[in-house]
Chain A
Amino acid sequence: MNKKNLKHILSIMVDNEPGVLARVVGLFSGRGYNIESLSVSEVDSHKFLSRITVVTSGTKIIVDQIKAQLAKLIPVHNLVDITELKSFIGKELILIKLDVKNKKTFDLKKKLERLSAKILEENDLEIIVQFTGSPNEVKKMESILQPYKIIEQTRSGLVSMATGTDYIKK
C-alpha cells in the first residue's frame, strides 16, 4: 500500500454558479483535506463552466477519497488527476514589486530579461515584475530577487493541463 504523501494536481470542471467554490473548498475543510493551491476561472461562457485547479497532497487512499468526494458534488462535471497523466504542464504567475529608489537597475533588468520576466511598471521608485513559470521556477525567481528590496508580492495558484487529448472533456 502506498503510504507516501504525494502532491496531486486535480483539475475540476464545474458549473459556474454561485457557491460552487464554497462547495469545493468546504469539502476540503470539512473533511480535513489539504489545499496547497487553488485557482478558478470560467473557461466556457456558453455552457457556464469553470475550471478549478486544486493542488492537494495525501496518501493514495486519501487522494482517492478526495476525488470520489469531489466527483459526488452535483455541480462537478468531470475531474482529472493531472499528476496521474503521462505528461503535463503546470504554471504559476507571480507579481513582485521591488523598491529601486536611488538604485541602479541596469543589472537587474538584464537579469530579468534573461529569465524572461516582464517588467510591467517602472519608475524612479519601483519596478513591478511579472513572471510565469513552474512552481520551482517561480520559487527560483523569488530567491533571485531576494537580495533586492521587495515591497510586496503576490502569486497565483497553479494552473495546469496535460499534453495530448482533452482529458477533462465536457
Chain B
Amino acid sequence: MKKITGAEIVIQTLIEEKVDVIFGYPGGAVLPIYDELFKQKKIRHILVRHEQAAVHAAEGYARSTGRVGVVLVTSGPGATNTVTGLADAMMDSVPLVCISGQVPTHMIGNDAFQEADIVGITRPCTKHNYLVKDVNILPNVIHSAFFIAKNGRPGPVLVDIPKDIQTFKAVYKGKKNTKVISYYKPNLKPNINQIDQFIKLLEKSEKPIFYVGGGVINSGEVASKNLFKLIKSTGFPCTQTLMGLGAYPTSDNQCVGMLGMHGTYEANMSMYNCDLMICVGARFDDRITGKVSGFSPKSKKVHFDIDASSFNKSVNVDLTVQGDLARILQAINKKIEEKKISFKKAKIKDWWIQINKWRSKDCLKFKNSDKIIKPQHALKRLDFLTKKYNPFITTEVGQHQMWAAQFLTFNKPKHWMTSGGLGTMGYGLPAAMGVQIAHPNSLVIDVAGEASILMNIQEMSTIKQFRLPVKIFILNNHYMGMVRQWQELLHGNRLSESYMDSLPDFVKLAESFGATGLRTEKPSEIDDLIKEMINVKGPVICDVIVDPSENCFPMIPSGSTHNQMLLGPNDKVEGEISEDGMVLV
C-alpha cells in the first residue's frame, strides 16, 4: 500500500470522520498540515484571530449540531492559547478534537523555540490527550480521539503532533481498518432493576420535580423527546439548569423555569420542598444547590447520568441509574406503558396549587421605565421579536447572561450556547461564529456585556472575512455588572475596578470591520433597533445602553439555601452573610 505523510494522514482521517470545517490558526509547527489543507477541497478552514476563539467557535459548532468540533493550532503559544477553551469544553462536556503542532520529537524537552508541554498542561482540562511519537499510530490516535470526544460523557481531546511526525510516512488503510487504540467503552444501557425501583418512587410521590440538565441535550434529540413524553405523561413539574435550557420547552406550562442562584422562586422553592427529585443529566453544581447541607432536605433523590462519577459527588442521592439518558428515559416510558400506570392528577393537585402560589409572586418582574432601558425589557423585546426565527443564542458571562437565561424562550435543544461550568467571558462571540458556520441561514445572536465582548473582539475580523451575519446584542451597563452586584452585596458597595472606562464607540468599531453598528439609549427605540438588526443582511453590533444600576434577581446569596432567596433590590439578606458564604465564588 502507498505510504503517505503524517500531515496527509491528518487530513484523510478528518475527512473520514466527516469533518467539514475546522477552526484554526497556522504556525511553524503545523505548516505541513496547512500545506495539505491547501491541496484539498473537502474541509473548510476558518481562520480565527486568536486560538482561544478557535476553540469557542468549535464549541459553538459542536453544541449547535451535536457533532465534534475540530481545532488546529501551532505549538507553544498557539497551543497554550487554547487552554481556556479546552477547560471550558471540559466543564460543559463539549465534544472537541484539538490538533496541535509540536516541535520535532528529537527537540522535545530541550526548551526548543515555541515548545510547550501542552499534553502536560492540558491533562486536567481535557477528557484525554495524546502526544504522537510514531507516525504509524497516527491514524489510530486520531480516530480514537474522535471516538473518545463524542462517546460517553463528551469532552475535548487534544492530539499533539510533532512536526517530524507530520512529514514521516506511513500506511493509512482507512477508518474501517484502523483499530481504535484506547480501551474505552462507556456503558449506555440502564439497569432495569433500578428503573423498576424508580417507577415505584414515581408512583408514590406527591411532590415530585424533574431537575433537567445539559446531559439531556448532549444525549440528543431522542432524549429530549423521551423526556417530553415522560413529563407529559406524569404531569409533574420540571425545572432546568442553565445548561439544560431547551432540553424541555421553557414556555411549556409544566416548566417552572431555571433553578439555582438566579433561578426562579417557584423552581427553587419546588426543589426545596419536593418529596421526589428526579435529576436527569445534571450534576448538582454549587450554582444549583446553594448551601449543600440545606439542599432539598425532605426529598428522595434519583440521579440519571452517563457519568458515574457525577453520582454522590456533592449531594447524596437515594437511587442512581447510569446510562445514556435517551435509553434510560425510553426504558421508563416503556415500563409506564407496559404497566399501564396512569398518573392521577389528584395526587399532585395540592403540589401544583402550592407551586402556582409561588409562581404568582412573579419573581422575574421588574420596574420598567420609559426613560432608561431596563436590560430585562430589552431582552423581553428581543425574545418577542425574534421568536419566529427560532434563533440560536450565545452569551458572554455576567448579568446579561443570567437575564438572557431568565427572559428568553428556549423551546428546542441545541439553540442555547453559554459558558456554564467555567463561566468564560469572551465565549459568546466566537461561539456564535461557530454556530453561524454550522447554520448559515439562521439567526444567531450573541447576548453580550460591554466588558465580555472586548475579550474576543478581534473576532470581528473573522466575521468580516467569512461574511458571518452574527448579531451582537450588547447590554451596555458600563460596568462589569455581575462584579458590581457582588461588590454591592458583599463588599460594602466598594466598586473596586468594576467600572468600564474608555469603552470604544461600538458603532464605529462595527463599521471599521465592515459591519453595521446600531445604538440606542431610549426605551422607545428598542423595538426598531431589534427589527433593524434582524433586517440587516450582514453582521451587526447593537450597543444597547441600559440602566447601569440594575441588578439580577432573584438571587440566592452565597452560602444560603433555596428558601432564602432575595427577590428584589429591597430584599435584604437575612442576617449577615456567613464567613463560609463570603469565601464562596
A contact set with B: CB distance below 8 Å: 1, 15, 18-19, 22-23, 26, 30, 61, 64-65, 68-69, 71-75, 77
Contacts and interface: CB of A to CB of B under 8 A. Distances in A.
Contact of B183 (A15, A18, A65): A15
Contact of A64 (B127, B307, B312): B312
B34 to A, nearest CB: 27
B123 A22 contact: yes
Contacts of A26: 123-124
B307 A72 contact: yes
Given A1-B316, A23-B123, A74 B182 contact: yes
A19 B312 contact: no
B127 A61 contact: no
A74 B127 contact: yes
B128 A19 contact: no
Interface string B118-139: 0110011001100100000000
Contact of A72 (B120, B124, B309): B309
B135 to A, nearest CB: 17
B128 A61 contact: no
Given A19-B119, A26-B124, A74-B127, 4 more contacts: A61-B312, A71-B309, A72-B307, A75-B183
B184 interface: yes
A74 B128 CA distance: 7
Most buried by A among B184, B307, B311: B184
Contacts of B309: 65, 68-69, 71-72
Nearest to B128: A74
Contacts of B124: 26, 30
A107 B183 CA distance: 55
Given A19-B119, A23-B123, A65 B313 contact: yes
Contacts of A1: 316
B308 interface: yes
Interface residues of B, number: 18
A22 B131 contact: no
B148 interface: yes
Contact of B308 (A68, A73, A77): A68
Nearest to B184: A74
Interface in B185-237: none
A25 to B, nearest CB: 10
Contacts of A61: 312, 316
A71 B131 contact: no
A1 B316 CA distance: 10
B123 A77 contact: no
16 contacts: A1-B316, A15-B183, A18-B131, A19-B119, A22-B123, A26-B124, A30-B124, A65-B309, A65-B312, A68-B311, A71-B308, A72-B308, A73-B128, A74-B148, A74-B183, A77-B183
Contacts of B148: 74
B195 to A, nearest CB: 21
A145 B81 CA distance: 55
A65 B312 CA distance: 8
Which 5 pairs from chain A and chain B are nearest by CB? A68-B309, A74-B128, A68-B308, A69-B309, A30-B124
A19 B316 CA distance: 33
Nearest to B119: A19
Contacts of B123: 19, 22-23, 26
Contacts of A18: 131
Nearest to B313: A65
A144 B128 CA distance: 47
Interface string B545-560: 0000000000000000
Nearest to B182: A74
Contacts of B119: 19
Interface string B141-158: 000000010000000000
Contacts of A22: 120, 123
A23 B184 CA distance: 16
A86 B263 CA distance: 48
B479 to A, nearest CB: 34
B95 to A, nearest CB: 14
A156 B202 CA distance: 52
Contacts of A23: 123
Nearest to B124: A30
A168 to B, nearest CB: 13
A61 B119 CA distance: 30
A170 B316 CA distance: 32
Interface in B303-342: 307-309, 311-313, 316
A71 B131 CA distance: 21
Nearest to B125: A30
Contacts of B183: 15, 74-75, 77
A22 B129 CA distance: 12
B158 to A, nearest CB: 12
A76 to B, nearest CB: 8
Contacts of A77: 183
A64 B182 CA distance: 24
Nearest to B322: A68
A75 B182 contact: yes
Nearest to B307: A72
